[in-house]
Homo-oligomer: A and B are copies of this chain.
Amino acid sequence: MAKKKVMREMDFSTEEKIKNAARVVFQKKGLAAARTRDIAEEAGVNLALLNYYFRSKEKLFEIIMYETLTNFAKGITGIFNDENTTLEEKIGLLVEKYLEMLTNDPNIPMFILSEIRNRPKDLLEKLPAKSVLSNSVAINQFGEMAAGGEFSEKDIPHLLMNLLGLTVFPFVGKPFIMALGGLDELEFNTLMQERKKMIPLWMKTMMSVK
């Protein structure tokens, strides 16, 4: 079995090379379309090493998916549970953070959502921040604003969906949007940067529509 301490002064250990390659290939193509041989090639490594270090393609996938989900959720819970920021500030921070993350890693949302489609039970159980979200400071702040009459209590799920949709959807539909708008990579990324300022404004106005 593999031992971490054995790592020599290579750029990356074989185990790391495989994990990084698996992340790339899985996130780009999804579990079903990803071939173990694709991953081995991407890693520049013998095929049998995948099974040597990770018992199976499934195990390797689970590791990548777990890390991806955890990393993705980490940002939300941190920001949404800060007692010292207003809701408006939280939205700004969240949008800023995720637009930045997704500009660098645009495949993540599609990866997560399309795998959830294929194995909803499996993955949604492992979802961190399920009850965490509903008890978050941010949700309470939404509730307070609703109580204050800014908008209806019934609108809260909609506003959350909108925040998510406005931020994440462009990346889910990236190839579609780029083709439809005749955009290149740079133009798309520029739009995403612009949204850092715009989404918070839009959210603010949507939270005032009665």
Contact = CB atoms under 8 A, between A and B. Distances in A.
A205 B194 contact: no
A30 B30 CA distance: 10
A84 interface: no
A173 B124 CA distance: 12
A29 B31 CA distance: 12
Give the residue among A118, A169, A175 with the most B Cβ atoms within 10 A. Answer: A169
Contact of A176 (B110, B116, B182, B202): B116
Given A161-B169, A165-B170, A30 B176 contact: no
Contact of A209 (B124, B170, B195, B205): B205
A44 interface: no
A158 B198 contact: yes
Contacts of A157: 181, 183, 191
Contacts of A31: 33
A176 B124 contact: yes
Contact of A120 (B113, B175, B183): B175
Interface string A142-170: 00000000000011011011101110111
Contact of A179 (B110, B118, B124): B124
Nearest to A182: B134
A183 to B, nearest CB: 8
A6 interface: no
A105 to B, nearest CB: 14
A138 to B, nearest CB: 13
B130 A179 contact: yes
6 contacts: A29-B118, A30-B118, A110-B114, A116-B176, A158-B194, A158-B195
